Amino acid sequence: MTDQFNASLGQRLRMARRQRGWSLGDVEEMTGGEFKASVVGAYERGERAISVQRFVRIAEIYGFHPSDLLPTKSTVESASETLTIDLDALAADDGDQLAERFLNAIRLLRKEPGGSEVRRSDLAALGALLQTVTSDR
């Protein structure tokens, strides 16, 4: 449950940062190094737990009340859902190359031309585009 909570909290932190239009580097620069880009990224990916004090501080920096960034029970539960993409439907793309274009767009937005990482949120968006997402509990 802790991992699910950290993942949900991280998603909400990422959303708050992106609403400001800030990169991870911007956060580090704006805080004078108080929040290193790599550490904030680890918080956002749910790889690292954030202390209450640092959570309150980053919420203030982002201009949010801390309670507005806390995940609800439903968001924590949805982080544990299994995601499945029908690869046959993906292969039957009729030469449209939707998946390749989508992945290239992700790489471009992230400024990672050679990046091969696809995040859970990317898969959900791709699955929705292809109408092939199923969730299992």
Q: List pLDDT tens digits, range 75-111.
A: 555 555 555 555 555 555 555 566 666 666 666 666 5
Q: List pLDDT tens digits, range 12-59.
A: 899 899 888 999 999 999 999 999 999 999 999 889 999 999 999 999
Q: pTM value?
A: 0.56
Residue 24: phi and psi, rounded to 5, are -60, -40
Helix (H, G, I), strand (E, B) or coil at 69: helix
Domain annotation for the chain: domains and CATH numbers: 2-76 (1.10.260.40), 81-136 (no CATH)
- Which residue has 């993942």 as its token pair? 7
